[in-house]
Amino acid sequence: MPESYALNYTSVALAAVVGFVALGLMFVANLVLSPRRRTEMKGMAYECGIPPAPFVWSQLHIRYYIFAILFLIFDVEAVFLFPWAVVFNNPAAIPEVFRGPVFYEMVIFLGVLLFGLAYGWRKGVLVWR
């Protein structure tokens, strides 16, 4: 092994040792400096500044869940569609043989999503009452 490799590994090992020592010092400083008074208020779960209430049964309408799922579906669509459009617009990125199948695969993907949108619209999920 050349000597330059040993120098590189030495600097990595030295950085790891310094990191672990710094981490250990931070843990020790936390133990020494942190307050130790336990109170009932400190032990409670924090819920937006409101003290937690005892469990009360409440119904959550399914409309919120369906609306969130539809949002995620179309959010994921955007995550797939924008990079695809950028790559598809670059003629050098996709060989000519694959341009047709790649285009029709995206058309099928968008068709499935549009079918889901039409189904949700027909069921009245998109109407916020």
pLDDT for the residue 41: 74
pLDDT for the residue 105: 92
- The answer on pLDDT for 1 being more than 60 is no
Residues 127, 121: Cα–Cα separation, whole Å: 8
> What's the pTM?
0.48
Structure tokens at 123: 């069921």
Residue 121 banded pLDDT, cuts 50, 70, 90: confident
- State which amino acid sits at residue 111: G
Structure tokens at 18: 């310094």
For 93, phi and psi rounded to 5 degrees?
-80, -35
Report the share of the chain in percent with pLDDT over 90: 22
Averaged pLDDT for residues 35-56: 75
Determine the length of the chain.
129
Q: How far is CA 22 from the centre of its chain?
A: 30
- Please count the CA atoms within 13 angstroms of the CA of 20 that sit on its side-chain side: 5
